Chains A and B, each alone.
Chain A
Amino acid sequence: MLYLDYAATAPLLPSVKDIYIRSLDEDFANPHASHSLGRRLSTEVDLIRKEILQDLKLSGQVIFTGSATESNNLVLSQFAQKKVVTSLVYHPSLLNRVRDEISKLSVNDIGQIDIEKSEELICQAELISLQWVNNQFGTIENINEVCEFIRSKNSECWIHIDAVQVLGKTPFNLKDDNFDSLSLSGHKIGAPKGIGCLILKEKHLEKMNPLFYGGNQEFGLRSSTLSTPLVKAFGQALKLSASLTEEYFQSARENRQKIIQILKNVFKEKAGFPFEERSCSNIVGFFIKGLSSDVFMRCMEERNVYLSSSSACSSKNKKENLALKELGYDLKMQKSFIRLSFGQNLAEEELELLEESLEKAWEDIEFLIS
């Protein structure tokens, strides 16, 4: 099997799994309990909060949530009826709550914010939500530049950053002043599903309202008994992905180039790679002119190679890919978009398997577009 859909979700990392399983056995107590069993866990969890901030070189408070979707919604819910500025090229969890009311940032043809053209909106905004790495195209936002521009034009504005696709795909180099809140997700970096977090500047803690009510855990922002095993697993996965070095990213970029070369060998001029200029090292978003990416995805699935014909979240929605639409691609192009995403570098045999599977699949379906 060749799994090339890491941007949708990543398999558990072995060391994460070890920690998780051990913790499931040992750390069953309620971390909010006042006996020593519980207090031990709550100390450990607080330590992990600190480590996460250290690993990312950020300051603030870590609020554990069930997912990045929840983290994004927690922030958005503070801004009902307020001026929210964001872009339709982003993940739906940044949009659904506000889709009808948002003001749209201008983006360039690879999905980066055009700050000059957006200046007026930026000046009026109360919340600007940004996505650092695009989950479909793989485009990296010039996050520090954009945030500094926002700060310089509108110092009151809340900057929220969805950093879900950053870790492991491009160096995490956000300057600490450049955000008010930031969301992360466990399952995209090798932890189990069911945990994410919101990193929030301390000054905002007091003003925030929770999404739901109960025992006031997580600074009153996320009532629910915290799962210590999930927190530990998340902490470990985050530590691993935050410690990746520049050498790793260099080799990942080379690996990515090999994959693109393979795609070009197989599809020749039929394949288009419009997002190359600023793509992260672990996502290849491309088009095969005239071919349905759903059909292609299934032809690869028959050969045990798994990739995405659209973002996993939107693949049930057969109609439109709103992100691609926002970039001006028509429905036909939207339906011919394919995304490959990977965790670590592919081994030689895996690259060969990929090439062979692509060739065979192409043989099967070439007649559809001839």
Chain B
Amino acid sequence: MSNVILINVDELWLKGRNRAHYVKLLKKYIRRSCKLHLENFSLKNENQRVVLRTKESISDDLFSAITKISGIYSIQKARESSLDMEEIKKVCLEEFEYCLEKKPSIKTFKIDTKRVNKTFPKGSMEFSKDVGAVILIKHGEKVSAKMKGPDLLIQVKINQLSAFITSHKVLGVGGLPVASSGFGLTMLSGGFDSPVASYKMITRGMHQTFAFFHAYPFVGNEVKDKILALGKQIASYQQGGLLIVFPFGEVQKFIAKNCREEYRTILFRWAMIKCCNHIAKEVNTSAIVTGDSLGQVSSQTLENMRLMDEASDQIILRPLIGSSKREIINLSEKIGTHDISIIPHDDACALFAPKNPIIRPNLGYWYEITQKISSELDELIVKLLPTCERLSLSSIRQEQGQ
């Protein structure tokens, strides 16, 4: 008998017409993970879900790789049986005994049958009772049936061609399959916010390329190692990706020489947005993702964000705009970026922090200075682009862009 994993799809009911495309994408990602771990396997669409079958054992690594695939509602390890009632009962008993052995404290259980196959000769309730009876005959002195809140729930799913028996369920990350909503460029920094912002967009089906603005020589190359670790962790939810390390120190020198000290921070940000617009052309992305959260630092004001939007041809997405720091940190723990984000690193912002940063830019000066340096800055960016380091965030061979 094969090992079976049932993969239930999230949110797909929303998108009636695109459904086939979505499932196809999802299967592509599942297949990619499987290929790294299994020699032989099959993936089929059956009754709104994807079924993975293999004769080989399914490692924890493979299982957790699948749980990370965006667009999956839940994953269940299951046993498969023919539609023969006696065989189903036998498999249920095996599953029960397997669970009892793993967790001897089980005192109560419940069998829950769902019939998609209406030709199955018995009703769901009735069949559940039959299965329960088989278990009680053998284990009745140790366990009893319980309908509400049992220690162990065994589900029996009766389909057209076979039945699945499972007592296991792990929730996936949910959302939409990666790349089903397009391609974005995410500004990654060493803090908590940007990886979380990226994760949120991955689960909305956006495949991302990452840009890191490396303030070398103002910060050391250790920062790059940290960003790489963060990028790899995030990219594991989209099966890899590309990190572009932009040599931003040159841009900072240029801006510092040309502007008033108190405008440095916001002009750096503006220059990053410009860089992203240039990079986006090269990597074929159509939105910029940032970790901005309204009011979190003095530069993240509505007015400043509007100035950034003005400077960008591409839309700027800010998935954390309404999130509190606590929400962001909680999510970072869940997705495994928290412990990387807290590694201390050189902070260019602190280094450059003007003594009196402006909260509200003087628009007269803003437009004057940005117009004055814009084209020279563009030239500098274009000159620097070919010198960017391009680092792979995956251990898997990666199909780039579209």
Contacts and interface: CB of A to CB of B under 8 A. Distances in A.
B218 A295 contact: yes
A368 B257 contact: no
B322 interface: no
Interface stretch (B65-73, B146-154, B344-352): B344-352
Contacts of A367: 256-257, 261
B253 A364 contact: yes
Nearest to A302: B217
Task: Give the dominant DSSP class at A's interface.
Answer: helix
A368 B219 CA distance: 13
Contacts of B220: 294, 298
B146 to A, nearest CB: 58
Contacts of A302: 217
A336 interface: no
Interface string A332-370: 000000000000000000000000000000001101101
A131 interface: no
B351 A368 contact: yes
A298 B217 contact: yes
B217 A292 contact: no
Interface string B240-260: 000000000000010011000
A299 B218 CA distance: 8
Contacts of A299: 217
Contact of B351 (A292, A301, A318, A370): A292
B352 A298 contact: no
A294 B218 CA distance: 8
Residue of A298, A302, A318 with most chain B CB atoms under a 10 A cut-off: A298
A318 B216 CA distance: 17
Interface size class of B (residues with CB under 8 A): 10 to 19
A298 B216 contact: yes
Nearest to B216: A298
Interface in A272-308: 292, 294-295, 298-299, 301-302
A308 to B, nearest CB: 14
A107 B218 CA distance: 34
B217 A295 contact: yes
Given A301-B217, A302-B217, A295 B351 contact: yes
Contacts, number: 25
Contacts of B256: 367
A298 B344 CA distance: 19
A295 B252 CA distance: 13
Interface string B186-225: 0000000000000000000000000000001111100000
Interface string B244-282: 000000000100110001000000000000000000000
Which of A294, A295, A299, A370 has the largest number of chain B CB atoms within 10 A?
A295
B355 to A, nearest CB: 10
Contacts of A318: 344
Nearest to A299: B217
A295 to B, nearest CB: 5
Nearest to B352: A368
Contacts of B352: 368
B384 to A, nearest CB: 14
Nearest to A300: B217
Interface in B279-324: none
A95 B253 CA distance: 41
The CB with the most chain A CB atoms within 10 A, among B216, B217, B352, is that of B217
Contacts of A370: 261
Q: Which of B218, B253, B261, B352 has the most CB of A within 10 A?
A: B218
A228 B85 CA distance: 81
Contacts of B351: 292, 295, 368
B389 to A, nearest CB: 15
A337 B81 CA distance: 73
B156 to A, nearest CB: 59
A73 B152 CA distance: 61
A344 to B, nearest CB: 28
A368 B348 CA distance: 11
A295 B344 CA distance: 17
B203 to A, nearest CB: 35
A301 B221 CA distance: 12
A169 B261 CA distance: 44
A294 B346 contact: yes
Nearest to A361: B217
A370 B351 CA distance: 12
A52 B356 CA distance: 61
Nearest to A294: B220
Nearest to B256: A367
A294 B222 CA distance: 12
Nearest to B218: A295
Interface string B323-344: 0000000000000000000001
B51 to A, nearest CB: 51
Nearest to A318: B344
B30 to A, nearest CB: 42
Contacts of B219: 295
Nearest to B350: A292
A312 to B, nearest CB: 14
Most chain B CB neighbours (cut-off 10 Å) among A299, A364, A370: A364
A27 B346 CA distance: 48
6 contacts: A294-B220, A295-B218, A301-B217, A318-B344, A365-B218, A368-B218
Given A295-B217, A365-B218, A367-B261, 8 more contacts: A292-B351, A294-B220, A294-B346, A295-B219, A295-B351, A298-B217, A302-B217, A364-B253
The 7 closest A-B pairs by CB, nearest first: A298-B217, A367-B256, A299-B217, A364-B253, A295-B218, A302-B217, A295-B217
Interface of A: 292, 294-295, 298-299, 301-302, 318, 364-365, 367-368, 370
